């Protein structure tokens, strides 16, 4: 299944002269083809078809829209987004069914993370509504007997070829970013072919904060509340003349709206709405 914003190159053809006739021969592909990959499902209320508590290997089902007729818990059915990502192969699709998932998500491999509303414009949806896949940052991080305030970004993207589409992403008001490409420590990940689309994002200091990008689309999102007043902040690598970062048709309810640094492209169709 292809889900990269990078269009895979088609096979070129060349004409080769032979003693008998002209023949058409395929050229070697010049890109890396996307491997065949599976779909993994995340749901907060799987039902074990045989009853009892869930353990790995159980056959599960769900009445949620988009759920498979049956799935195997721990193989292609999971209760948390992070556990599904950990099990996913590169270029897999992680389909998150409607519900609320309280976790900080890290995407460290190429994949499509799709909410229940993927491909659906935010204008016809209700933020945090029953039909949404809602990712909420926990208030606290508990390590043993120690509890500390959680300031982590809600979603960290640390890989190329990633799509995040169709979610409500909610910080805990202390979250540094709703979606970022910055690890817990170290420099931001130089992301290629990143797509963030059709998402509600709210309650972080900066709702979308992306730095040192090479190529990305940030489009058709609704930025509801940014505690620092910055709805979308993007920056490409300094001196990277080939960088292509598109911020298109987002609705931003934040005083500073969109801040672009570097070689980004933010055309006139960026739609900025300042909160009253």
164 pLDDT exceeds 90?
yes
- Mean pLDDT within 38-62: 93
Q: Where are the domains of the chain?
A: 98-273
What pTM was estimated for this model as a whole?
Answer: 0.79
For residue 239, what pLDDT is reported?
53
More confident residue, 87 or 171: 87
pLDDT digit string, tens, across residues 152-163: 889 999 999 999
For residue 153, what pLDDT is reported?
87
Rounded distance between C-alpha atoms, residue 136 and residue 82, angstroms: 13
Rounded distance between C-alpha atoms, residue 165 and residue 197, angstroms: 5
For residue 189, what pLDDT is reported?
85
217 pLDDT exceeds 80?
yes
What DSSP letter does each residue of the chain carry, written as one string? ----SSPPPPPPEEEEE-SS-EEEEEPPPSS-PPPP--EEEE-SS-EETT-SS--TT-EEE--STT--S-EEBTTTEESSHHHHHHHPPTTEEEEE-SEEEES-EEE-SSEEEE-TTTT--GGGS-TT-TTSEEEE--SEEEETTEEEE----SEEE-SSSEEEESEEEE--SS-SEEEES--SSSSPP--SSEEEES-EEEEEEEEEEEEEESEEEEES-EEEEEEEEEEEEEEEPTT-TT-EEEEES-EEESTTEEEEESS-B--TT-EEE---
Task: Using only the alpha carbons of the chain, give its radius of gyration.
Answer: 21
241 pLDDT exceeds 90?
no
pLDDT digit string, tens, across residues 175-208: 678 898 888 777 788 888 999 999 999 888 778 8
For residue 150, what pLDDT is reported?
64
More confident residue, 186 or 168: 168
- Entry field: residues in the chain: 276
Answer for the pair 276, 255: CB distance below 8 angstroms, yes or no: no
For residue 9, what pLDDT is reported?
30
More confident residue, 270 or 15: 270
């Amino acid at each position: 299944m292809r889900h990269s914003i990078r269009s895979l190159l088609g096979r070129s053809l060349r004409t080769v002269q032979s003693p008998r006739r002209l023949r058409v021969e395929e050229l070697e592909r010049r890109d890396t083809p996307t491997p065949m990959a599976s779909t993994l499902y995340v749901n907060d209320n799987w039902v074990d078809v045989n009853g009892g508590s869930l353990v790995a290997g159980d056959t599960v089902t769900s009445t949620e829209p988009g759920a498979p007729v049956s799935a195997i818990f721990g193989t292609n059915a999971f209760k948390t987004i992070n556990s599904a990502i950990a099990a996913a192969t590169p270029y897999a699709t992680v389909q998150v069914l409607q519900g609320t998932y309280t976790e900080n998500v890290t995407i460290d491999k190429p994949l499509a993370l799709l909410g229940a509303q993927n491909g659906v414009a935010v204008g016809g949806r209700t933020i945090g509504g029953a039909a949404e896949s809602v990712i909420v940052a926990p208030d606290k991080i508990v390590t043993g007997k120690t509890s500390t305030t959680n300031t982590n970004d809600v979603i960290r993207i640390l890989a190329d070829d990633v799509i995040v589409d169709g979610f409500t992403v909610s910080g805990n008001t202390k979250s540094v970013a709703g979606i970022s490409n910055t690890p817990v420590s170290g420099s931001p990940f130089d992301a290629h072919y990143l797509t963030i689309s059709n998402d509600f994002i709210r309650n972080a200091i900066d709702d979308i904060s992306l730095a040192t990008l090479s190529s990305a689309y940030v489009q058709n999102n609704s930025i509801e509340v940014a505690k620092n007043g910055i709805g979308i902040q993007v920056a490409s690598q300094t001196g990277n003349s080939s960088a292509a970062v598109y911020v298109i048709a987002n609705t931003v309810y934040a005083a500073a709206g969109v801040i672009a640094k570097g070689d980004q492209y933010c055309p006139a169709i960026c739609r900025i709405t300042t909160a009253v």
